[in-house]
Amino acid sequence: MLNNRKIAVVIPAFNEEKQISMVLETIPDFVDLVVVVDDCSTDKTADIVSKQINSISKNVTKDNVVSERNILSTKYSKAEEILHKMNIEEEKYYPSHKIYSGKSENREIILIINEKNNGVGAAIALGYKFCRDNNIDCTAVMAGDGQMDPMELESICRPVIENGVDYVKGNRLFHRSAWLVVPKIRYFGNSILSILTKVASGYWRVSDTQCGYTAISLKALRAIRIHKIYRGYGMPNDLLVKLNVAYCTIREIEMKPVYDIGETSKMNVLKVAPAITLLLVVNFFKRLWIKYLFRDFHPIFLLYNFSLFLGIIMLPYTVKIIKLIMHGNQVSYETLLVFIFLFTSSFQSLFFAMWMDIQDNERLYK
């Protein structure tokens, strides 16, 4: 515990038989609950975790875990009763799995084994669900490949416990060794995705969106639809959008980048990048409509969409001008004037929309 608050660590794992023991053995003592989600590994990952559980106590298989929250039924409790019922009904959206548990003197270890491989995002979502249903105050995520220094876990969790921050992310790019340690292709790819995620999520200060070393509050887990978190490697980006729509506060903590300790990357950057980019484009418009129209109307909604509308109208003029120039023909004054007007108006609307978006989301940084 930290400040008498329960702390859990979710460890998504897929074929991590070489690293998982080290990860489990180095978890700090203040952690009350460790949830390992084995995403249908084809190696001995689950067996290694099971042996650690066996050395503690007898396995207990659970088919379903939903917290039994004491809700006093009154004429004012209907909303809470509906939410609790919704949490139970959401069970069908999670992948089929089995749960095993064991207890040590200091903490409980949970092993969740998926029957099919669903992706790292789905594994983390399942761990989040377990922690939410068991009312864990702060839930951190650490990779099963050992790339996250357990000594930095306390600095990730304390802002949630002490300052009421809803979501804390590690930032490896803040560390002065980042350019020397992080592989250049990953550094470049991370930077591009971070820029796109800033626009899509509204968290304009976040600069290491792909870092998976995070901590989230119970309040934030209850504010989002966990089962709808993106199942693949775009999970961190998708989660940021969902948290922003739910008005969750955020903070980034400097942490050192860790590579070449025996981990094997399973992410193909060239394959993943297009899918994440499309995800961010879709999520950007979802955020606009949900946050700035339906929940709380804001001129940002009009400015962004007006900019897009003018940009679409401008396309035929852009193509026409390019064709005329390529064929050596002169562009008419009227065509050029309309193009300049549309371009200037679209750019100004986009600029003011982004500026207002940045200002509006300043309140979410703690």
Question: When comparing pLDDT for 200 and 79, which is higher?
Answer: 200
Location of structure tokens 């800033």: 198
What pLDDT, in 10s, does the model give residues 41-77? 999 999 999 888 866 554 445 444 444 456 677 888 8
Average pLDDT, integer, range 128-157: 94
Instruction: Report the predicted TM-score, pTM, of the whole model to 2 decimal places.
Output: 0.90
Residue 208 reports pLDDT greater than 70? yes
What pLDDT, in 10s, does the model give residues 317-363? 999 999 999 988 888 999 999 999 999 999 999 999 999 999 999 99
Average pLDDT, integer, range 21-30: 92
Q: Is the Cβ–Cβ distance between 80 and 71 less than 8 Å?
A: yes
Question: When comparing pLDDT for 251 and 74, which is higher?
Answer: 251
pLDDT of residue 63: 46
pLDDT of residue 77: 84
Angle between helices 299-326 and 269-289 (to 10 degrees): 130
Average pLDDT taken over every residue of the chain = 89
Under the banding of pLDDT at 50, 70 and 90, the label for residue 181 is confident
Spatial strand order in the sheet of 108-114:
60-62, 97-103, 108-114, 33-38, 7-13, 138-141, 214-217, 167-171, 250-254
Closest by Cα among 267, 246, 236 to 170: 236
Under the banding of pLDDT at 50, 70 and 90, the label for residue 263 is low
> What does 217-281 look like in DSSP terms, one character per residue?
EHHHHHHS-GGGS-SSTTHHHHHHHHHHHTT--EEEEE------SS------HHHHHHHHHHHHH
Pick the range with the lowest mean pLDDT from 59-68, 120-129, 233-242, 276-285: 59-68
